[in-house]
Amino acid sequence: MKKQIKHKPLDSVNHYDILPNNLIGIVQEGVMVVSRNLQPIYLNLKAREICRQIWHGNHNINSLPPIISDIHQSLLSNYNYDDRVFVIDYPVTEKHIIRIRVSYLTVETEDEINSIAGDRPWLLILLADKTAILGEELQMERNKYNLTHREAEISRLLSQSYTYQDIAEKMQVSLNTVKFHVKNIYAKKRICEEPEKVCV
Spatial contact of 153 and 162, defined as CB atoms under 8 Å apart: no
Spatial contact of 33 and 122, defined as CB atoms under 8 Å apart: yes
Q: Taking 90 as the threshold, does the pLDDT of residue 164 lie above it?
A: yes
Q: Which fold has domain 146-192?
A: Arc Repressor Mutant, subunit A (1.10.10)
Burial label, 124 (beta-carbon count in 10 A; 0-12, 13-18, 19+)? buried
Q: What pLDDT sits at residue 200?
A: 47
Same topology between domain 10-129 and domain 146-192: no
pLDDT in tens, 68-115: 888 877 776 665 555 677 888 888 887 788 989 888 876 554 444 444
Mean pLDDT lowest among 42-46, 78-82, 134-138: 78-82
Identify the residue with better confidence: 59 or 63: 63
Whether domain 10-129 has CATH 3.30.450.20: the reply is yes
User: Could you write out the DSSP letters of every residue in 61-93?
Assistant: TTS--HHHHHHHHHHHT--S--S--EEEEEEEE
pLDDT in tens, 1-14: 444 445 555 555 54
The structural domains of the chain, with segments of one domain joined by +, span 10-129, 146-192
Average pLDDT, integer, range 130-134? 81
